[in-house]
Amino acid sequence: MVMDVKKNEVNNTNTNNAIYFNFSYAALKLLGKNLYNNAANAISELVANGLDAKAKNVYVYIDMSDKEHSIIEILDDGLGMDYDDLARKYVWIGRNKRTDADLLEEDKKNVMGRKGIGKLAALYLSNHYYILTKKASHSAVDQWEINLSAYDDSEFPKLDRVLAKVELINSEIWENTDQGTVIKLDNVDLRRNGEKRIEALKRVFSDFYLLEGLTANIFVAVKTQKKDTIKFEKVEKMVAYQNFYAMFSNTDLTISKRLRDSIAFTWLSPYPHIGKKERPTVILSGKDFSVKGTKKFVDDKGNEIEKEYVLTGWIGIHSTIEVKNALDDRYIRNDVYQPNKLRVYVRNKLALANYFDMHPSTQAMVNYIEGEVSFDILDDDALPDIATSSRQDFLADERVELLIELIDPIVNVLFKLRNDIGQKIRTENDEYAEYLRKKEEEKRKAEEEARKKAEETARKAAQEKEEAEKKQREAEKEKEEAEKKQKEAEQRAEREKQRSQYILNVSGVEDKNIMNSVHSIYNMSNRVKENLDELGCLMKPTGEAKKKLEKATTSNQRILSVSKIISKAGRVIDNNDASQRVNLPIFMKEYITDVLGYIYEKEDIEILCDISSEINFDVKIKPLSFIMVLDNIIGNAIKAKATSLRVVSEETKENQYRIMFIDNGNGIDSSINDIESLFDFGVTTTNGSGLGLYYARKYMTELKGKIAMEPNQDKGVTIILTFGKQKN
């Protein structure tokens, strides 16, 4: 479809004398993808279409709970479109809305769009979207769909009417709107938009328009989680006015009155009386600069025409750009949103995101500048269109040069004001530092005079002092010798006291002395155990020798266990190791806490007991034999270089009780192919005898229980003792 210039309407019929261009899907897709560089700008462009339709309210809803398949709804209460509007205007790529015959002259001045390609913003976001529209004169809603995924690159896309009702997430807003348009986009890929970027979305929208110049309100709701409720928030300017030190303003608005009356630059001085000093802020008006006039420009046909121009808005310089020092809570600066930009608008819409990107400055203070100025001559209908394809920049042109001539003097004055106040504070710092230096110098001189007088007095007394010190040294030496003799006498007395006490202990029959003897038995028995372990490794006995070695090892182990219990817990175990019925969880907890906790230091191994004493699980055991099993397990963990051993328990559904010993040692040696072989006689991967686990399995079998070993996923092994319910 193309436009018949004479009739100002679409014509898609070729003749012998005329062949019309058409836009294929490939061309539309290429245009849409290259016009914008991020989703926020594309959405802002679609909002602008609603504003051009005289909307009083525009609602932007984004559901990105599934980022790759996000849903966007843009609703406005503008004039809406009927079939003729869609056929003659919407599908006409490149239509200049300002030339519409049915548009009032006053309205033409406020139309933002000129190129007629803003609608392609939808293609940047999605290849499948719906258009719902209604006019005040119609009660029915027109519904149209474009699904570009169904087209080949060479085909010509079209709008298809949708008869079934298109479901909207924000249907309540739409149904309460007498007229307007909805753009619903499906499968929008927002994976490159993180939470910070979404949080900054309202600020991006507020930067995209001169909100003070609009008669409409823009509302935004973003849903990042499926459980989120929809909450629309009004888009408002979030300028940190109270962080500005100086500002130029020639708007009819009272923006300059939003500044502080004065600012204390606390961060520029280490001296409180300077840093806390209030410095009056500075306001510059349009009277201080040349910001309007008339000038001859060249139109599209090469003719010179005289046009009026005026630069309106405000430009401020921040007192600081460090968020930690900012004087206004609204000052936000991060890797997503940079507020310090001089934004240039045309017809209330952003034309230059940052003036200094187009016209760089060498001034260090350029990052302190923020402002919003409007210069409509940049997009005057009578002059050539100089906007680039990005729709946010301008090509070099005499109007751009004029803009630079108007802005640079203002910016340079702001630079000077901020530099001057900074220099003034630095000068005050230097002056006060010099004052402190002089005070310090005066103090030093006074101290020097006092020092000289003191030296004169000291010189006269030096000889007397030296004699006194000599006498003092001799006295101290005599004192040291006397103290040395005293200490030697005390040491001899202490040795004699200890010898006497030893004799008393040996000759006495008190229990505490017996305990000391038992502790000696434990140490000697421990040495015997080491020798037996080494003997088992060297000889590898079989038959009768194996039985003898096993019997000797078991007897010595009983001695070890008895001596532990007597010496550390004060308990006596029946020599016959008679069977007793015990509550196993309580028995385990008491033994680990009251006995092992005293026997082993943390340097040997840290034993952690996670056994609950609330479980009642009675079992008939031989305490001494069972303790030998526990000691063997702990001894193996130490041999495996474990630093910790955690003991936990559980009662299973099969009416069984399990105790697990979990260590962080070296684990099972790679030479062991069958874990069960570690319970065989004489099998070991350390310097032990290989009888500990053999004996443990033998005793657990007598109890009708089981013992097993499992490697841990990270480090070490777990020994599992399993007990079943026993009959009384």
In the chain, what is the greatest distance between 2 CA atoms, to the nearest angstrom? Answer: 136
Collapsed DSSP state (helix, strand, coil) of residue 370: strand
Collapsed DSSP state (helix, strand, coil) of residue 554: helix
Q: What is the pLDDT of residues 700-717, one digit of tens each?
A: 888 888 999 999 998 999
Please give the domain boundaries of the chain with CATH numbers for all domains: 2-234 (3.30.565.10), 241-424 (no CATH), 514-724 (3.30.565.10)
pLDDT at 566: 57
Collapsed DSSP state (helix, strand, coil) of residue 283: strand
Beta bridge partners of 161: 144
How distant, in Å, are the alpha carbons of 1, 627, 674, 703 from that of 718? 79, 18, 15, 20
Residues 182 and 145: beta-carbon distance below 8 Å: no
Report d(CA 186, CA 713) in Å as an integer: 46
Lowest-confidence region among 278-282, 470-474, 524-528:
524-528
- Rg for the chain (alpha carbons), in Å? 46
How distant, in Å, are the alpha carbons of 63, 71, 237, 326, 642 from that of 199? 14, 17, 14, 20, 51
pLDDT at 703: 86
Higher-scoring residue by pLDDT: 8, 551: 551
DSSP H helical ranges for 98-194: 105-108, 121-125, 171-175
Reply yes or no on whether the pLDDT at 463 is more than 90: no
Q: What is the pLDDT of residues 615-655, one digit of tens each?
A: 888 888 888 788 888 888 988 898 889 999 999 998 887 78
Residues 109 and 125: beta-carbon distance below 8 Å: no
Higher-scoring residue by pLDDT: 283, 390: 283
Report d(CA 709, CA 676) in Å as an integer: 8
**Average pLDDT over every residue of 151-160:** 72
Lowest-confidence region among 394-408, 572-586, 663-677:
572-586
Residues 10 and 4: beta-carbon distance below 8 Å: yes
Helices (H) and strands (E) in the chain, counts: 17, 27
* pTM as predicted: 0.56
| Average pLDDT, rounded, for the chain | 80
Q: What is the pLDDT of residues 96-129, one digit of tens each?
A: 554 555 555 555 455 545 455 556 778 788 888 8
Name which of 62, 37, 278 is nearest 183 in CA terms. 62
Q: What is the pLDDT of residues 534-587, one digit of tens each?
A: 777 777 777 777 777 777 777 777 677 666 665 544 444 444 567 888 888 888
Reply yes or no on whether the pLDDT at 397 is more than 50: yes
**Average pLDDT over every residue of 671-684:** 80
Q: How confident is the model at residue 199 (pLDDT cuts 50, 70, 90)?
A: low
